[in-house]
Amino acid sequence: MKSKPKVAPSTQSSRLRQSLRSTLLRRIVAGGLEAGRPVNESQLATQLKVSRTPLREALLQLEQEGFIRSDERRGFSVERLSAREIREIYPMIWTLEGLAVGSSAVCAHLLAPELARINSEFAKARNPQRALDLDTQWHERLTSQSQNRRLLETVSALRLAIRRYETVYMADTRLLPESVAQHNAVIDDLKEHDIAAAIKDLEKNWHFGMEVLIRKMGEE
């Protein structure tokens, strides 16, 4: 009977760090680790049943990604929500999503029926988390035909970076009908094979969300 090949310690450490990063990121996005609050490393290590070394490595990785900040005296804390981050990231998303749609112009109209189905479910969503998942699914499907892998990976990373903000947006159910209408405008453009209009209406969709969130951050 053959013995199982041994996994190198460095590989095990890397897997553990990535697993911890994913777990911590889910907690941050869901609000389990609150924005602006310090991270209790000892308590968190006990909860996750790991030592503090891989936990600290995962926190440092999340710091590089903009979700965590560190201070020599105060340790780690969850990055606060800020209007500045909204202003920086949202224009990047609508620009890159528009680029993805433009690069798949030949077959973009074929997505219209599925986008309409997702948007119909989105319109009926009553749970903020469900609404957020469907909105994300709609945008992912819209850009899915682009053959530019790096572009799609970049957009995916940006969507993750704003998920906390989108959670705030979706919590206000009064805003959902407007988002549904904006999605329908893009779908209608695709049906008409008007890619330029679809990209413009997609930008309006993201720009509306950006303005709403900036006001919710207490700024004009």
Is the pLDDT at 10 greater than 70? The verdict is: no
Q: What pLDDT is attached to residue 8?
A: 54
Q: Is residue 67 part of a domain?
A: yes
Q: Could you say which of 61, 78, 95 is where a domain stops?
A: 78
Sign of CA dihedral 156, 162, 163, 167: negative
Are residues 200 and 164 located together in one domain of the fold?
yes
Encode pLDDT of 32-87 as tens digits.
Answer: 888 888 999 999 999 999 998 899 999 999 988 888 998 888 889 998 889 999 99
Are residues 96 and 194 located together in one domain of the fold?
yes
Are residues 110 and 21 located together in one domain of the fold?
no
Q: Is residue 101 part of a domain?
A: yes
Are residues 30 and 45 located together in one domain of the fold?
yes
Are residues 89 and 192 located together in one domain of the fold?
yes
| Domain count of the fold of the chain | 2
Are residues 107 and 19 located together in one domain of the fold?
no
Are residues 92 and 137 located together in one domain of the fold?
yes
State how far the Cα of 86 lies from the Cα of 203, in Å rounded to an integer: 14
Phi, psi at 147, each rounded to 5° = -90, 5
State how far the Cα of 149 lies from the Cα of 217, in Å rounded to an integer: 33
Q: What pLDDT is attached to residue 29?
A: 78
Which residue range is the domain that position 38 belongs to?
Answer: 9-78
| Per-residue tokens: 56 | 């600290």
Are residues 73 and 98 located together in one domain of the fold?
no
pTM listed for this prediction: 0.80
Encode pLDDT of 82-128 as tens digits.
Answer: 999 999 999 999 999 999 999 998 999 999 999 999 999 999 998 99
- Say which residues have a Cβ less than 8 Å from residue 7's Cβ, sequence separation at least 6: none
Helix (H, G, I), strand (E, B) or coil at 208: helix
Counting residues of the chain whose pLDDT is more than 70, the rounded percentage is 95
More confident site: 124 or 14: 124
Are residues 137 and 89 located together in one domain of the fold?
yes
State how far the Cα of 68 lies from the Cα of 77, in Å rounded to an integer: 6
Q: Is residue 3 part of a domain?
A: no
Q: Could you say which of 46, 78, 110 is where a domain stops?
A: 78
Maximum Cα–Cα distance for the chain, whole Å?
69
State how far the Cα of 193 lies from the Cα of 187, in Å rounded to an integer: 10
DSSP 94-146: HHHHHHHHHHTTTTGGGGHHHHHHHHHHHHH--SHHHHHHHHHHHHHHHTTT-
